[in-house]
Structure formats: structure tokens, C-alpha cells
């Protein structure tokens, strides 16, 4: 495997209207990216977020740490006309990083048919998630925007400002013409629904004529999360104040670590070019002694975010490594 990496969030609009990362201190970002390189033994990082300035700060820190940068703007709720100027600006920022490392890759968004507006009925993500599979929700919905056409326009705008390799982080359900991209990049989460055919699913995506990169794969930290795959985070009651889990769940760090190992075995067996674990930290999901408020159980992060206190393994940083942290470090150190 050519790329062994992790996703690193700089903050975006969030699934329910809040920020996925409120605090963004460059010194902390620099230290965390150094840990990703030195302690986790990653050779690449996919830097995500919706703020071009934050992306740029983190990308420079990643290059300084010796990491290959996958510069990955993550717009939320933008309309199709807003996407082209947004990605043009991000492409200019990514070219600044490519001047330092010519292997920098620009990723033109993530699962935008759901995370942005105009392709699925609904003003916000949670509405679109509900409506995507509901035929009644599509009645009267305007099909003014063709997703493939919009993505091609975005790619053309980006190439006017960025001279490196391009791709897009596709959802498994999205049909993408990879001819105009340098990698076929897909978010692949194994779940109970696709577990039996998961290796074949990877094989199918690897047959698209471009090197396959898994831009996201991961598992939350509660028992049963492996069966939920990419929807494991939906155990949060987003209406509660303060937020809480919507039921009683059991911490399962061993299950999260096993998920990483099992999927990496599949990816390596199928000749995947690269894979990025999702994610380094779920900054919006801190742990709590109260089991109903232990939001870390809904986190894909390989560190447990602490509320209001410093960790012991890395003093000064508000998190502790989970079992999957050590599993990733051992595998990537080979």
C-alpha cells in the first residue's frame, strides 16, 4: 500500500448545524500532526474542513512533519453555484502547499450529493439523510442540478489554479466518472449490510481504471458499531441539551481496533493504493463519566477527547489514545 493515512478535521459546519471543531490553535494542530507522523507512522494525512485558512495552516504543519497532504475542502450545505468559486479559492490554497510538496493532492469535496444542497431534497443534512430513500420526499423536487455536471465544472475550475493531482471523496452510492480524476477515491465503511460482499465491493471500485484510494473507513467506539459502519454516530440524541446518547451503550475499544485490522487486511489483499482511517479525533464528541453523556462512544476517533482536562500520555493535549491508536501505530510502523 502506497499511502497509509488518517483523516484530520480542522472544523466544518457539522451534521446538525454546529461546528465539528470549535477551537483551532495552530500550536496544537502542529503538535497533533507531528504525532500522526512520528507516533502513528502515517505517511499521509487527509486534511478536511470548510475553512480554507484553517486547511492551509494545517497543511503547512503536515508538510513540516513530513506527511503527504491530501488537501480536502469539506463544504456543507453550499448550493451548486457556490461550489465553483469556493473550490477555486481552495485550489489556490492547495497550489501554495504543492509548491512545497509536489505530491500534494486536492480532493474536491466529500459526498456532496448529500452534504451540499440541490441534489437531494432537504435544506440540511439530517433532512437529506431521511429523504434520500423516501420516494414521497422527491415529489415536486427540482432536478435542475445534475451532480456529474456540477462536479466536472468544479474540477475544471480547480485545474485552472492547481497543477497537481485531483480526486473527489465519493460516497459508495455515488456514480462518478473517474476519467477526469487521477485517483478513484471512495469512502468505504463495512457494515452488517455489506459485510458478506465487502471484498468484492472493494474489488469493484478498484476496477475503475484509476488507483483506488479509500478516503474514509472507520468504526465508532461502542459495541455494535462495526455492524453500523458509517452510521455508528447516529446513537447521539442531537436534541438533548447538553447532548447525550439516545440509549444505553457499552464501550468497545477492542471492537474498534479489530475493525481497523480486518479492513486493512482486505484493502492490502485487494491492492488498494491507499487508505485513510476516519478519524484522528472526534473533537465534538468528548467522553464523560456518565454513560449516557459519554459521546466518545459515538466517535470514530482513535483518541478519546477529554472535556476540560489534559491527558497523561501527551501532556498539554486534551485527549488520550484509545486501543485503536496503538493498533494503527503498530501496523503502520511495519
Which carries the bigger pLDDT value, residue 214 or residue 135? 214
Pairing of strands 244-245, 236-237: antiparallel
The Cα 212–Cα 206 span in angstroms is 5
The residues spanned by each domain of the chain are 3-332
pTM for the predicted model, two decimal places: 0.96
pLDDT tens digits for range 260-293:
999 999 999 999 999 999 999 999 999 999 999 9
User: Tens digit of pLDDT for each residue in 63-115?
Assistant: 999 999 999 999 999 999 999 999 999 999 999 999 999 999 999 999 999 99
Residue 265: its H or E element: helix 253-269
Q: What is the dotted CATH code of the domain comprising 3-332?
A: 3.20.20.80
- Cell reading at 74: 469539506
**CA torsion angle 8 106 43 187 (round to 10):** 60
Whole-number Å distance between alpha carbons of 222 and 247: 12
Q: Answer yes or no: are the C-beta atoms of 77 and 122 closer than 8 Å.
A: no
Task: Determine the pLDDT at residue 17.
Answer: 59
> 3-state class of 12 per DSSP?
coil
Cell numbers describing residue 19: 461546528
Beta bridge partners of 319: 305
pLDDT at 15 > cutoff 70:
no
Q: What is the pLDDT of residue 16?
A: 60
Grid cell digits, residue 93: 490554497
**Average pLDDT for 205-222:** 97
Computed from CA positions of residues 53, 10, 333, 104, in that sequence, does the dihedral angle turn out positive or negative?
negative
Render pLDDT for 310-331 as a digit per residue (tens, 0 to 9). Answer: 999 999 999 999 999 999 999 9
Amino acid at each position: 500500500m502506497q499511502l497509509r493515512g488518517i483523516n484530520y478535521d480542522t472544523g466544518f459546519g457539522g451534521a446538525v448545524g454546529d461546528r465539528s471543531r470549535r477551537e483551532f490553535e495552530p500550536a496544537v494542530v502542529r503538535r497533533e500532526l507531528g504525532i500522526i507522523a512520528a507516533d502513528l507512522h502515517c505517511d499521509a494525512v487527509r486534511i478536511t474542513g470548510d475553512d480554507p485558512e484553517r486547511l492551509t495552516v494545517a497543511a503547512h504543519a503536515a508538510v513540516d512533519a513530513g506527511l503527504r497532504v491530501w488537501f480536502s475542502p469539506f463544504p456543507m450545505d453550499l448550493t451548486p453555484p457556490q461550489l465553483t468559486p469556493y473550490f477555486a479559492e481552495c485550489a489556490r490554497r492547495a497550489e501554495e502547499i504543492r509548491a512545497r510538496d509536489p505530491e500534494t493532492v486536492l480532493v474536491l469535496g466529500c459526498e456532496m450529493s448529500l452534504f451540499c444542497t440541490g441534489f437531494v431534497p432537504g435544506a440540511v443534512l439530517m433532512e437529506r439523510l431521511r429523504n434520500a430513500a423516501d420516494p414521497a420526499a422527491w415529489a415536486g423536487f427540482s432536478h435542475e442540478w445534475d451532480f456529474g455536471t456540477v462536479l466536472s465544472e468544479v474540477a475544471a475550475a480547480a485545474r485552472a489554479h492547481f497543477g497537481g493531482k485531483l480526486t473527489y471523496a465519493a460516497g459508495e452510492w455515488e456514480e462518478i466518472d473517474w476519467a477526469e480524476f487521477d485517483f478513484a477515491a471512495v469512502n468505504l465503511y463495512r457494515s452488517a449490510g455489506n459485510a458478506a460482499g465487502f471484498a468484492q465491493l472493494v474489488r469493484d471500485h478498484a476496477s475503475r481504471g484509476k488507483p483506488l484510494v479509500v478516503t474514509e473507513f472507520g468504526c465508532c467506539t461502542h459495541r455494535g458499531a462495526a455492524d453500523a459502519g458509517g452510521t455508528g454516530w447516529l446513537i447521539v440524541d442531537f436534541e438533548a441539551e447538553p447532548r447525550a446518547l439516545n440509549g444505553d451503550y457499552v464501550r468497545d475499544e477492542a471492537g474498534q481496533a479489530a475493525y481497523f485490522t480486518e479492513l486493512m487486511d482486505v484493502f492490502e489483499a485487494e491492492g488498494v493504493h491507499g487508505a485513510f482511517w476516519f478519524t484522528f479525533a472526534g473533537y465534538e464528541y468528548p467522553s464523560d463519566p456518565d454513560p449516557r453523556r459519554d459521546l466518545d462512544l459515538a466517535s470514530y476517533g482513535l483518541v478519546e477527547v477529554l472535556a476540560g482536562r489534559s491527558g497523561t500520555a501527551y501532556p498539554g493535549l486534551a485527549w488520550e489514545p484509545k486501543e485503536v491508536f496503538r493498533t494503527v501505530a503498530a501496523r503502520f510502523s511495519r
